[in-house]
Amino acid sequence: MIYLSGCKVKAHTGVAMADGVIGLLQTPQNRYSLEDVKVWAMDNGCFTESYPGDDAYLALLDKYSEHRERCLFVAAPDKVGDAAETLRRFEPVAERIREAGYPVALVGQDGMENLDVQWRLVDWLFVGGSTDWKLGEGARALISQAKEQGKRVHVGRVNSRKRYNLFRELGCDSADGTFIAFGPAVNTPKVLSWVQEEQLCLK
């Protein structure tokens, strides 16, 4: 399970990102250079209320087009805490993201496991939602649905070894967090230790 940091600090994350040991979670706000990043993904900014609107979002993706072969996914817009509205917003923008040449992620919200998800339109499930839902049976059920449909799964807001291991054991493919941002010099080695521990477990 690859870890995507929302923070890029060359002195501390540069080598790991260039080698693809950890990746970068790009957002409409941070807009880091992707030249020296091997693996990246695009979040939509809805959680921080910084989504720029559909047209501006697609225009931003167009600017990154030379790097899209290294992009895991682009998160379609969602509505925080509202699964039904997220599904309504997803479909029209998902088609445009795919036409731009990117894999599309559906952001999971509380209760989505009980709704009719059009999985044929989804490349990745991005597990968002409240913390209680994310750590409970609801998110587990939605992850299971996604895996049954052959989809890859990303988990947002993973800022501890315990949570990283929890979702790794559930078969998730990637995770992101702000952990590195709150102390790049100290926390980058910690994240690398989570990844290295997983690699040892797989041997």
Q: What are 52-63's pLDDT values in tens digits?
A: 999 999 999 999
Q: Look at residue 196 and tell me whether its pLDDT is greater than 60.
A: yes
What is the third-level CATH fold of 2-202? Answer: TIM Barrel (3.20.20)
Q: Give the count of beta carbons closer than 10 Å to the beta carbon of residue 30.
A: 15
Q: What is the mean pLDDT of residues 141-158?
A: 98
Which of 11 and 82 is assigned the larger pLDDT? 82
Give, in order, the Cα–Cα distances in Å from 28 to each of 17, 20, 134.
19, 22, 24
CA–CA dist 191, 81 (Å, integer):
28
CA–CA dist 125, 107 (Å, integer):
6
Name the residue among 110, 116, 112, 44 with its Cα closest to residue 73: 44
Residues 6 or more apart whose CB falls under 8 angstroms from that of 16 comprise: 22, 188, 192
| pLDDT band at residue 121 using 50, 70 and 90 as cut-offs | very high
| pLDDT band at residue 201 using 50, 70 and 90 as cut-offs | low
Q: Where are the domains of the chain?
A: 2-202
DSSP state for residue 159 in the 8-state scheme:
-
